Structure 1
């Protein structure tokens, strides 16, 4: 996996006790959700820009049932309400650190946090970094309440889902919804990355990982209601933050004969993430394509991973 996508904590999840959250808010609101009517679609890609080793192809017909999906990724404000209601402590807080992209770290932060990921030194293990302090001590989310929550693990996302009465989407549901009714287009809006001179998503411009020209308007996360929605009314299904899915990740599961509501393998080590993030760049990781996939361990958290929820009819 290209480590601009996401980087793993690399620890044993058994060292921590994952918090159990009861469904205290099970009568979920359909506000800011859209009905995704079920149907058959062509999942995956055979495109030369793809990564066959990720299991993007071959293209196959898949059917999903109808479901509701959040228009936006879960925001800092929504996650704050969850924490206030439940006193939930995220895994980044319990571990005491999370991964922050180096350009967002002050000189003092870099000095006090010398630990780097081998081969990808732009990821900094920052002590005290978590969803409410995205860049570590001294940072805050006061002006980012409408941005996607970050530094949340898959386990954290599941806890939020249990509280809200929702769930994470399967990969098939996510891709079906992200395509917005378009068939086999490269992006959620079509085949051209830039349309009429306008950027359609929040990804990296410039020279990765040194300089971001932020021609799309942002160097880090952007508000969840930015750019135009796709054909189903979903915002930022490309770029901004990676979104956790329910499935265990496998590069081979899609080759099975499960084509109706596939849910991925029964076991695994990594959970799937979809959509790409503000760090994706064509020279390194073009996983902002709608068929692209990546993964991370369920206990990992980074400054470019978030999630959105779905709900059954």
Structure 2
């Protein structure tokens, strides 16, 4: 019974690890192919939703990027038009947008607790409007909504990744020791920082409006060196014939791998926090 539970846990671990990678790839593929709004179209929408005030800065196309990773013109999260409004200490813009969006047929109107005022978003006709607040003002963003195929492609990528991960770890479990422990540890440690931060990111903005896949290229400066260190560690641990029955070598490699993985995860969290800081005009 204990052995079956261990094998099931191993399969689930592989499914979660590569399923998360598949989710990121699927959300990238499913989010491509939209048409950004024009400046004139965005100005009309801004005037309809916030008719009693004018932006301090005129509309401008905001190059798509997240965590310092540039997005293509047809990537989800790119092609945005932004309007910057003066300080709104009484949160009047939030109430105005909520009322006008409901009156004009916008749907999926939702609220996110903000720093000073609640942020609001709504969707209509393939576009998403988001009102974000900061201590110095409010930003109204008009951006394309996720394509209709987005959910299907994202789920398909997740399921394919999960199936591949379960199959890979099932094959590892059938190998002779110490291959399952060493290789499983190295794969887990190598992917865990990106996987953990992907799920942490999914707790925040809606996946349909904020792409999650740029997290991986943003973490590449940390993950690639980690992988380049883990690879020779694995080769050294599995080197024949000395590796067979050498528990000390296996324990040392596993321990060093987890220490390196923990340091990489902490560094990755700090890096994403720094890259996520907004730049205001």
* TM tier relative to shorter chain: under 0.3
- Structure whose CA Rg is larger: 2
Q: TM-score, normalised by structure 1?
A: 0.22
